[in-house]
Amino acid sequence: MASDLNIFQQPSPNFGIRRGGVIPSMIVLHYTAMKSSKDAIQRLSDPKSEVSAHYLIDEAGKVTQLVDEQKRAWHAGQGCWGEINDINSYSIGIELDYCPSAKCNFDERQISSLEKLLFDILKRRSEIRPEFIIAHSDMAPGRKFDPGMYFPWKKLSQKGLSIWPENILDLAADWGKFKYHAERFGYRASCDTFGGWTDVLDVFRLRFLPKQEGKLSPVDMGVITYLSNNWPNIRNND
């Protein structure tokens, strides 16, 4: 355990067994979209809500653990990433106390605690590589949008806690190639229609090109190709 990271324990009853006894190989990052961390902890611990997460980090950086990492918390819901459909069994869920309608940038104290927690988890769990730390939106295009456009993925990547595309070349816009590279990286459309793939484009941009709008463009192509070539979603431990 990182010496300067205090983790407060507040067990939630909302968890189950990881199906098939799998070892988590992913981390899913969320925002709570609630008024306060107190409200969020209450909801994540209410049996009626049937939701939870392993950790919650409040704005000031306080880390609360609600579910043991060995257990299956209920944070991901419907969706998939690469070949994995049961994201809850394969992942550790971290909630950030953050309300997108109330603010833009995340509090530095909150991100600092998140970095310490991620360092600690990655040190203990070699199955989790930086490219397997994903957004809730990544695994549920069209349904989820957290942790949102202000989450500092690039900053995390500079510490080996995420990935980020560099020196991107523009490439010709081509939906067939976009789908190929998006799937190779890990994205799955909820349905194989133009709408389903537009949802994938939207969540991909939310994370990697938050200012990009309009139709599929050469910069989208450059980034998705870079991601797919550098981090193809290939697992050897499943």
Residues annotated as part of the active site: 95
Task: Enter the DSSP assignment of 78.
Answer: S
Q: Is 146 in the site for Zn ion (CB under 5 A)?
A: yes
Give the separation between CA 110 and CA 51, rounded to whole angstroms: 22
Minimum CB separation of residue 215 from Zn ion in Å reads 28
Minimum CB separation of residue 164 from Zn ion in Å reads 21
Residue span 24-43 as binding mask against Zn ion, x where in contact by CB under 5 A, dash where not: ------x-------------
DSSP states along 89-143: HHEEEEEE---TTT-SSPPHHHHHHHHHHHHHHHHH-TT--GGGEEEHHHHSTTT
Nearer to Zn ion, 134 or 219 (CB): 134
Nearer to Zn ion, 136 or 188 (CB): 136
Q: What is the dihedral of CA 171, 176, 182, 184, to 10 degrees?
A: -110
Give the separation between CA 26 and CA 129, rounded to whole angstroms: 8
Minimum CB separation of residue 119 from Zn ion in Å reads 22
Nearer to Zn ion, 61 or 93 (CB): 93
Minimum CB separation of residue 190 from Zn ion in Å reads 16
Number of residues that bind Zn ion (CB under 5 A): 3
Contacting range for Zn ion; rule: CB under 5 A; set: 141-149, 150-158, 159-167, 200-208: 141-149
Give the separation between CA 98 and CA 104, rounded to whole angstroms: 9
Task: Enter the DSSP assignment of 27.
Answer: E
Give the separation between CA 153 and CA 95, rounded to whole angstroms: 15
Instruction: Count CB-CB contacts under 10 A for residue 211.
Output: 7
Cis upstream peptide for 147 (omega within 30°): yes
Minimum CB separation of residue 157 from Zn ion in Å reads 21
Q: Which residues pair with 57 in a beta bridge?
A: 63, 96
Nearer to Zn ion, 138 or 146 (CB): 146
Q: What is the dihedral of CA 95, 96, 102, 104, to 10 degrees?
A: -130
Residue span 169-208 as binding mask against Zn ion, x where in contact by CB under 5 A, dash where not: ----------------------------------------
Contacting range for Zn ion; rule: CB under 5 A; set: 23-31, 126-134, 171-179, 216-224: 23-31
The residues in 77-136 that bind Zn ion, with binding defined as CB under 5 A, are 136
Nearer to Zn ion, 146 or 199 (CB): 146
User: Closest residue to Zn ion, Cβ-based?
Assistant: 30
Residues that bind Zn ion (CB under 5 A): 30, 136, 146
